[in-house]
Amino acid sequence: MFRKNSLLAIWALLLPASFVPCRAEIRHFPSTGANLLRLDAANSLTILSQDTTLKLKSKGTATALSGLCSGIPVALGLVMALQSDGTLFEDPTLTTGMGLITGGMIFGPAAGYFYVEDYGRGLEGIGIRTATAGIFIFIAISVENRREGNEGGLESLNGVNADIGRAVQAVTIMAIGTGIVLISDIIDIVKVHKSVEKYNARLTAGHTMALSIAPTFGGTSRTPGLILRVAL
């Protein structure tokens, strides 16, 4: 606590010098901007101004971007697919719906990583999901083609037509692939906050803080005081 006489003495000494800037090296400074504070003889501390110069990223925003960019296209795609009674690549509604589902699941989770400029991690997730989807689609097509080419093949599967059995196999393979992609989606959405922490740590680590102090007169108490500026 400053006594009134002590503050007046400091005020008188600083008056001829006006602003005297100094600099200090800090690491992981928690503030996100510059603050202008006033301390007067009545021990009243007033925030005169504040601005933000360090643009720290939000964990909530990153998570929301990844989740929404995944969930919204998938939801719209499912609605379109369910409304269609045609076949893929022939019915525009079904084709568009499947494209939205695929795009949302493969590219959506990367949105949060791009937000924090972690492009490598975002592209890594896209690559994993694209490769997984491609492999399982290839396997499903191969299984169906092999069965179609097997003229003396299985005629029935537990009383079910061979064509239905073939379709069940293809759908099962695609379901497994979709499950793996979905797991990758969830992992990327849940872990995007770590990229936010790394981004903010890089932004604040080793940042320089500038300090300046000067006498002032006025404020709410109309008494001599000191202005301390903390700028990042």
DSSP secondary structure of 25-91: E-SS----EEEEEEEETT--EEEEEEEE-S-PPPHHHHHHHHHHHHHHHHHHHHHHHHH--S-TTTS
pLDDT tens track for 161-200:
666 777 788 788 889 999 999 999 999 999 999 999 999 9
For residues 108 and 191, state if they share a domain: yes
For residues 38 and 150, state if they share a domain: no
- What pLDDT is attached to residue 194? 96
**C-alpha dihedral sign at 132, 137, 138, 143:** positive
Mean pLDDT confidence for 75-87: 89
Structure tokens at 62: 């990153």
Rounded Cα distance between 135 and 72, Å, is 25
Structure tokens at 63: 């998570």
pLDDT tens track for 88-109:
778 889 899 999 999 999 999 9
Of 52-66, 88-102, 146-160, 171-185, the poorest mean pLDDT is in 146-160
Q: Which amino acid is at 80?
A: M
Sheet harboring 223-231: ordered strands across? 20-25, 208-218, 223-231, 33-40, 45-52
For residues 155 and 183, state if they share a domain: yes
Q: Name the residue with higher pLDDT: 168 or 24.
A: 168
Structure tokens at 6: 């002590």
For residues 79 and 167, state if they share a domain: yes
For residues 155 and 119, state if they share a domain: yes
- Sequence-distant (≥ 6) Cβ neighbours of residue 205 within 8 angstroms: 27, 28
pTM, full prediction: 0.64
Q: How many alpha carbons fall within 13 Å on the CB side of residue 73?
A: 19
Mean pLDDT confidence for 28-36: 45
Concatenated DSSP letters of 86-134: S-TTTSHHHHHHHHHHHHHHHHTTHHHHHHTT-HHHHHHHHHHHHHHHH
What is the Rg, in whole angstroms, of the alpha carbon atoms belonging to the chain?
32
Helices 59-83, 92-107: inter-axial angle, 10-degree rounding:
160
Mean pLDDT confidence for 10-39: 45
**C-alpha dihedral sign at 15, 18, 24, 28:** positive
For residues 94 and 113, state if they share a domain: yes
- The range of the structural domain enclosing residue 138 comes to 59-203
Q: Which residues pair with 160 in a beta bridge?
A: 157
For residues 98 and 122, state if they share a domain: yes
- What pLDDT is attached to residue 162? 64
For residues 83 and 43, state if they share a domain: no
Structural domain tally of the chain? Answer: 2
For residues 47 and 69, state if they share a domain: no
For residues 217 and 198, state if they share a domain: no
